Amino acid sequence: MSKNSNVPARSKVLSRRETRTAYLFLLPALVFFIGFVIIPMVLCLITSFFNYTMGDFSFIGIENYVKMFQDDIFLVALKNTILIVVVAVPTVTAFSLWVGASIYNMHAISRSFFRCIFYLPVVTGSVAVSVVWKWMFNKYNGLFNNVLTGMGVIDQKISWLGDERFALWCIIVILFTTSIGQPIVLYVAALGNVDPSQTEAAEVDGATKFQTFWKIKWPAIMPTTLYILIITTINSFQCYALIQLLTSGGPNHSTETIMYYIYYQAFKLNNYGYGNAMGIFLAIIIAIFSAIQLRVGKSDN
Amino acid sequence: MKKFLALLLTGAMTMSLVACGKQEAAPSNEDANAPAEAPAEEAPAEEPAADDAAAAPADGAVAGDITLWTYPVGKFGDAEAVGELVAAFNQKYPDVNVTVEYLDYQTGDDQVTAAIEAGTTPDLVLEGPERLVANWGAKGKMIDLSDLWDADTTADITANSAAVEAACKSSDGAYYEYPLCMTTHTMCINQELFEEADAMQYINEDRTWTVENFEKALQALKDHGVETTGVVYCGGQGGDQGTRALAMNLYNAQWTDAGHTEWTMNSAEGVKGLQQLKDWVDAGLLSSDAGIVASDEIQLFANETIAMSFCWNAANQLTYAAQTAFTPYAVAFPSEDGVPELCGGIWGFGIFDNGDAAKVDAAKAFIKFVCDDPTQGPESVKLTGFFPVRSSFGNIYEGTEDEERMTVYASFAQWLGDYYNVTLGWAEQRTAWWNLLQQIFGGEDVQTAADNYVNTCNEATTAASN
């Protein structure tokens, strides 16, 4: 009897000890997270209600938020940002799934080769990638103009990044190439982990390839798809480095994004409070989009 | 408690998705060669906390650790050259330890802004009045250097150019910059190409030209088969002094009023100049490109893709001498009457108000040594590749291998125009300017676009004045 009563007590102690150990392991990351994310976010929220510049810090309530929606450039930036998200997220996800599905069952060497190719732009870094793309888009001696004029597709050389009609699409193309690496690697891993006995059973039962994919593999990789959707959405909303390096938001604000406009207001004009208000707005938008994706993903699942 | 911790950690993981999104900081497309103008200020000046009135200390009477941040003004971006300068300073002031950090024009302003907000500004900074006076000084972040501007110094500098003293002084009479060097920004042509096209005849001996002759030269180049004569770059603010000077000079417009309180490029002369640029672009005599900035344009010039550059100065000539297979021939910007008004560059030191009088003394001693010492002063100016602000230094390049090159650029000083870069609202103006160019080359009505530009700038100036 005494032996039986000791078991739950010991189990409780063990459990508590394990929990404490787990939290201790997480503590360093938590400290950094609180210091570099939570506290700055709280400060960002607070200062968004202030006229916070290099020479002033006075409470103005929601004036920054009101001003935001009366600011034509911000509205253009919001429109451009949403366009980037709407175009980039589905294309990146679909293309990554297609590539992942094509290469996951290849020989290990071939699979690794393709993974390296697609992952290269991710590890290369935005600055180097932008320099290469900037050269390719160059009006005078860039690759695209040389090829297209050589083939007779265009008569006049085009300033791809300097023309309102093309600039944002050029940014989206670059963003696409730098965004697909991680999803492809994740899809290859996720598809490789799908239980082959289930797909084999489905095939034995007469399921077509499409049915096997849609009924067996797709539900199995749904958590990965959700993660990819959310991370791609966040990255697309935060499109900044490419704009900064390639167009500065031009021509005529046609590539202005919210992240770049936040940088411009905060660092170029020292309107920190206004920049922070836009940052809070962007965070809310990202949270809403992510929540919708999670909800839709869960209901699909 | 457990639930709370679990919730916090879950939140942390979720938020880290947001935080870990790609947010790599990236350099902006600022000037690669010609030093760029600066952001402007938006708040009224505040009284510096430290003792401004203290005179520059006597030799050997100062001690301490000071930090110098330099923008890459000539060899002030070169650690070896600056190291030698600091070593020379330490021979005279052995108890002052100078730590140097090197900024670039891509990220330098962001670093200073972050330092100001974090309270970690350096003691000394090397740059121009746009930043030292009109931005950081006007916002009360700098020490008043009036005590360094004694009567002799002022007389020596104003004998060279009165504009230098005016540029270093704020509207409230405080001096936030102690100047070291100056130059005039010009444009440059490919001499051999111009000769082949028989276009050199349109340039006067003193390297000026009229609008009429400039147009003839463009036509001659086109007739000679030059695909792209020159590019009015407007992809960002890098090197915007070139496009400003081009547009302003064509019909002798003024960028601001004399008091630097209002922007005036929507005047008849300004709009006529802008319209002329658009007409030349429409006629194919010039090109416009919102996809490049000055550094790209200079590179196109250096590799002979285009026949002229609108962003040039003495330092560029030196930098690109080894890269060009032709003779870069500096010329003034064309103007209706052939008398240009060139944009200038003035660089010097400012001291951030860090509330430590001993550091301020040490910083002032450093400034006086670098700028005024009879031996070191001219050497310091040579490091910049520009010209001394002090008339007493004379021709510092005489007898050197740079004499011929610098004599050419010295000849442009006679056309040095108003230093309007100190007008409040400068940062907004810079962005509005290249946007204005993008708009008019994109087909918007020139007068309307110029009016919008001026309104934007004036609003920024008014906001900064309040």
CB nearest to A267's CB, from B110, B438, B439: B110
* Contact between chains at B235 and A53 (C-beta distance less than 8 A): no
Type and span of the H or E element at A189? helix A181-192
* Closest chain B C-alpha to A231 CA, distance in angstroms: 7
At B139, list the tokens. Answer: 């916002």
Confidence of residue B27 (pLDDT cuts 50, 70, 90): very low
Q: Which residue of A has its CA nearest to B22?
A: A235
pLDDT at position B321: 76
Fold for domain A71-300?
Answer: MetI-like fold (1.10.3720)
Q: How far apart are CA B465 and CA B424, in angstroms?
A: 7
Q: Among residues 141-180 of chain A, which lie with CB inside 8 Å of chain B?
A: 141, 159-164, 167, 178
* Contact between chains at B292 and A267 (C-beta distance less than 8 A): no
Q: Among residues 285-314 of chain B, which lie with CB inside 8 Å of chain A?
A: 289-292, 300, 305-306
* Chain A contact set for B110 (CB, 8 A): 267
pLDDT at position B59: 55
From the candidate CATH numbers 3.40.190.10, 3.40.50.720, 1.10.760.10, 3.90.550.10, the one assigned to the domain spanning B186-341+424-465? 3.40.190.10
* Closest chain A C-alpha to B34 CA, distance in angstroms: 19
Written as one letter, the residue type at B284 is G
pLDDT at B333 over 90: yes
Q: Which residue of B has its CA nearest to A24?
A: B5
Q: Which residue of A has its CA nearest to B439?
A: A252
CB nearest to A240's CB, from B23, B39, B109: B23
Q: For the residues B225-239, what does the mean pLDDT come to?
A: 93
Type and span of the H or E element at A5? helix A2-33
pLDDT at position B340: 95
Domain map (residue ranges) of chain B: 51-184+344-408, 186-341+424-465
The gap from C-alpha B441 to its chain's centroid, in whole angstroms, comes to: 25
pLDDT at position B37: 37
pLDDT digits (tens, 9 = 90+) for A162-174: 999 999 999 999 9
Tell me the CA distances in angstroms from B117 to B111, B121, B349, B425, one per residue in order: 10, 9, 21, 20
pLDDT at B362 over 60: yes
- Residue B126 main-chain phi, psi, to 5 deg: -105, 115
Confidence of residue B29 (pLDDT cuts 50, 70, 90): very low
Domains B51-184+344-408 and B186-341+424-465 share a fold: yes
pLDDT at position B57: 54
pLDDT digits (tens, 9 = 90+) for A40-52: 999 999 999 999 9
SS3 assignment, position A166: coil
pLDDT at position B54: 41
pLDDT at position A123: 87
Domain map (residue ranges) of chain A: 2-47, 71-300
pLDDT above 90: percentage of residues in chain B: 66
Type and span of the H or E element at A73? helix A72-103
Give yes or no for A52 touching B (CB within 8 A).
no
Q: Show the low-confidence residues of chain A (pLDDT under 50).
A: 1-3
* Chain B contact set for A231 (CB, 8 A): 17, 21
pLDDT digits (tens, 9 = 90+) for B149-181: 999 999 999 988 888 998 999 888 899 999 999
pLDDT digits (tens, 9 = 90+) for B65-91: 999 999 999 889 889 999 999 999 999
- Residue B248 main-chain phi, psi, to 5 deg: -70, -40
Could you say which DSSP state residue A161 is in? Answer: G
pLDDT at position A10: 72
Q: How far apart are CA B250 and CA A226, in angstroms?
A: 59
Give yes or no for A268 touching B (CB within 8 A).
yes
pLDDT digits (tens, 9 = 90+) for A109-156: 988 898 888 888 888 888 899 999 999 999 998 999 999 999 989 988
pLDDT at B21 over 50: no
Give yes or no for A206 touching B (CB within 8 A).
no
pLDDT at B368 over 90: yes
Q: Which residue of A has its CA nearest to B107?
A: A267
CB nearest to A54's CB, from B17, B18, B43: B43
Q: Who's near B261: CB < 8 A, 6+ residues apart?
A: B423, B461, B465
Give yes or no for A19 touching B (CB within 8 A).
yes
CB nearest to A235's CB, from B22, B291, B292: B22
- Do strands B64-70 and B124-127 pair parallel, antiparallel, or not at all (unpaired)? parallel
pLDDT digits (tens, 9 = 90+) for B187-213: 999 999 999 999 999 999 999 999 999
pLDDT at position A97: 94
CATH architecture label of B51-184+344-408: 3-Layer(aba) Sandwich (3.40)
pLDDT at B60 over 60: no
pLDDT at position B11: 47
* Contact between chains at B29 and A245 (C-beta distance less than 8 A): yes
CB nearest to A53's CB, from B26, B43, B439: B43
pLDDT at B239 over 60: yes
pLDDT at position A297: 73
Confidence of residue B13 (pLDDT cuts 50, 70, 90): very low
pLDDT at B254 over 50: yes
Confirm if B167 and B422 have CB atoms less than 8 A apart.
yes
* Contact between chains at A234 and B139 (C-beta distance less than 8 A): no
- Between B51 and A14, the more confident residue is A14
pLDDT at position B238: 85
* Closest chain B C-alpha to A82 CA, distance in angstroms: 16
Confidence of residue B388 (pLDDT cuts 50, 70, 90): very high
Average pLDDT, chain B: 86
Q: For the residues B124-151, what does the mean pLDDT come to?
A: 92
* Contact between chains at A55 and B41 (C-beta distance less than 8 A): yes
* Chain A contact set for B43 (CB, 8 A): 53-56
List the single range of A209-213, B26-30, B123-127, B426-430 with lowest mean pLDDT.
B26-30
* Contact between chains at B434 and A250 (C-beta distance less than 8 A): yes
Give yes or no for A129 touching B (CB within 8 A).
no
- Between B27 and B351, the more confident residue is B351
